[in-house]
């Protein structure tokens, strides 16, 4: 069976609400975190071939900053990744063409965090413990999905293989474990 991979990313740190939630922009720290994450993803060969991104400014800016160091395909911006819940996120993934093996999804808490919890059946004890402690901005999870078709992805049957927050991937020497 050919496995699929999901890269599940919470948008990077944003500034407080000023002109409405959807128009919030990234903080300078968020821009920096996304650029470094893009570099680390490239170094670890974590390259998406499909991108689903919330249409909110802060998620678009997270993607733009990632792209400075990570080559990604043109993204699509489903409204449900801004306004929907975890079920809507799963639905969007299930609609992706099976020609794609590596999806990057960039969206918002709490639904993005709930998606990781919903899909991940197992991972190392340390990763699962860390996951139980929350999902800060610019957190990335890599989930190995046990399905050949995105439409067949099932909750609690997949493996969490990487869980990384900014403090994990900032200024790490290259001989350290992935992200």
pLDDT tens across 126-137, in order?
Answer: 888 888 888 999
Instruction: Output the pTM of the full model.
Output: 0.92
* CATH classification number, 4-169, choose in 3.30.2350.10, 3.40.50.1240, 1.10.3720.10, 3.60.9.10: 3.40.50.1240
Which pLDDT band, with edges at 50, 70 and 90, does 48 fall under?
very high
The pLDDT value recorded for residue 171 is: 62
Q: Which residue has the tokens 């996304």?
A: 34
Dihedral through CA 16, CA 130, CA 111, CA 40, nearest 10?
A: 70
Residue-level pLDDT at 177: 52
Which positions ≥6 away from 87 have C-beta within 8 Å? none
Mean pLDDT of 65-89: 95
pLDDT of residue 41: 96
Positions of E strands within the chain: 4-10, 50-53, 75-76, 102-107, 120-122, 140-145, 158-164
């Amino acid at each position: 069976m050919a496995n699929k991979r999901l890269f599940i990313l919470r948008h990077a740190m944003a500034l407080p609400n000023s002109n409405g939630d959807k128009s919030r922009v990234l903080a300078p720290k968020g821009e920096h975190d996304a650029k470094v994450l893009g570099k680390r993803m490239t170094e670890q060969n974590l390259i998406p071939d499909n991108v689903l991104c919330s249409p909110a400014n802060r998620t678009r800016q997270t993607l733009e900053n990632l792209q400075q160091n990570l080559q990604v395909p043109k993204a699509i911006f489903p409204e449900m990744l801004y306004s929907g819940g975890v079920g809507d996120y799963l639905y969007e993934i299930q609609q992706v063409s099976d020609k794609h093996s590596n999806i990057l999804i960039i969206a918002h808490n709490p639904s993005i965090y709930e998606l990781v919890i919903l899909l991940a059946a197992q991972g190392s004890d340390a990763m699962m413990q860390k996951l139980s402690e929350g999902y800060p901005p610019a957190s990335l999870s890599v989930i190995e999905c046990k399905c050949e078709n995105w439409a067949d992805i099932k909750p609690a049957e997949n493996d969490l293989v990487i869980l990384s927050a900014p403090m994990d991937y900032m200024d790490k020497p290259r001989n350290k474990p992935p992200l």
